Amino acid sequence: MEKKSFFGWPLVIVLGLMYFMSSGFVLSTAQIVNPMMLQDPSMGMTGTALGAGFSLFVLMQGLPSPLVGQMVAKKGARFTMAIGGIIMLIAALAMVFLVKSDILYFVFFGIILSVSTIMVGQISVQSTVGEWFVAKRGVAMAVTMGIGGLASFAAPLVVNSIVGASGGAWQSGWYLITVFALISIPLALLVVKNKPSDIGQTPDGATPDASNGKAKRVLKVYKNTDKIEYRQAIRSPFFWLIAIGGAGGFCAFSLATSQGVIHFTSLGFDNGAIVGAAAAMGIASMIGKLAIGLLADIIEPIRIIGAALVLVVVGILCAAMASNVAMIYVYYVCTGLGFGAIATNLPTTVANYFGLTAYPKNLSTTMLTTTILSSIIPVMAGALYDATGFATTAFYVTAAIVAVCAVCAFLVRIPEKARNMQ
């Protein structure tokens, strides 16, 4: 009988597209469309509500993560993605036809739409990659995140073009999201497979033992194949060291997006130079997700995270002491590279260290941790800015926090690799 070709790599492309259409594109679209909604008199929105809606959206990327992880664990990513696509469709249509007040904006954008994106995208996608790949898990995760990350570049161009073509109608942006939702539902149901065993395959297209006559090979990085339950994982101090270590990248990203422009403006830099440097962060983030992510199968990903955090600390200190435009570029490039590397390597680290038995739950708990810790940064930075008139102190404080996260990453002990074989 002819052996079926390994479905994992075509699936990576599909999963990348699922991430692109949900976690990658929705928030990027909202950053363009929602301010237009504010300018529409019929919406009855306030500037305060607009900002609060974004804060709520980001918070809801983490708070319901354990519930979404539980759904993936019990029902599978395929089912979770399809349900998430239906919810995303309803929420996007509600943004066009129902949202006429702050409360409805909070409900449909801040909560429902946010939750739908992690169902279609981040948690489901990363969990599925973890299930399908062992030996080349780092490469697969990097490619998936790289495809999804293209949304940060595509969204502004595509949405601006669509809105312009429709005569400035902000609703066209949300219609685009409804199209993505409609595509994601059949894509999930017809193409996505939860596990290799669903179609008679095994991770990476190889057999998990040597019964077929093939010799086992030692992997270059530690990848746990033991059956570790969720309760065992969260009782390990290394679980929390990994989660806190990964949170450092998200703390840095929160600082950059909430305080970067304000900080450099208060230091007297030209707005054009600031915007140009900020744009470099997106490019650097893509490089971090893809190029650095590809190293995760030959270098322990938790060590990559630690090194990325050191780079981020250097960047934040450059920002705090910025005296020329070059230092601003150093800050944004270091933050982009570091965050991109961490965003790709954190889910890989969780899968490598604690295996696949409870991976969706482990990943969602890690996401919850990163969300809670990173959500503190904008509030802290804002309070310090109000008190001093500058954000410099907030940058020094955040640098210290990220440094602690780096120490946590380096404290994670890598088990012996003698039995780490495939």
Q: Which domains occur in the chain, in start order?
A: 8-199 (1.20.1250.20), 230-411 (1.20.1250.20)
Distance CA 371, CA 398 (A): 15
Question: Which region holds residue 224: left if phi is over 0, alpha if psi is between -120 and 50, else beta?
Answer: beta
**Measured in whole angstroms, how far is the alpha carbon of residue 47 from the centre of its chain?**
27
| pLDDT at residue number 422 | 45
Rounded to 5 degrees, φ, ψ at 218 are -75, 130
Least confident range of 19-23, 301-305, 390-394: 390-394
Q: Which residues contact 239 (CB under 8 A, 6 or more apart)?
A: 233, 353, 354, 362, 366
DSSP state at residue 110: I
Categorize the per-residue pLDDT at 213 as very low, low, confident or very high, splitting at 50, 70 and 90. very low
Does 225 have pLDDT greater than 60? yes
For the record, the structure tokens of 309 come out as: 């955090």
Tally Cβ neighbours within 10 Å of residue 215.
6
Q: Which residue type, as a one-letter code, is found at position 265?
A: T
Average the pLDDT over 166-185 and give the result: 93
| pLDDT at residue number 3 | 58
Q: Is the pTM of this model over 0.85?
A: no
Least confident range of 9-13, 208-212, 334-338, 372-376: 208-212
* Cα separations in angstroms, 5 against 1, 79, 189, 196: 12, 24, 21, 12
Token pair 């429902």: residue = 112
Average the pLDDT over 83-109 and give the result: 94
* Cα separations in angstroms, 113 against 35, 110, 246, 316: 17, 7, 25, 32
Categorize the per-residue pLDDT at 1 as very low, low, confident or very high, splitting at 50, 70 and 90. very low
Share of the chain above pLDDT 70, in %: 94
* Cα separations in angstroms, 211 against 119, 134, 135, 142, 196: 37, 18, 18, 31, 18
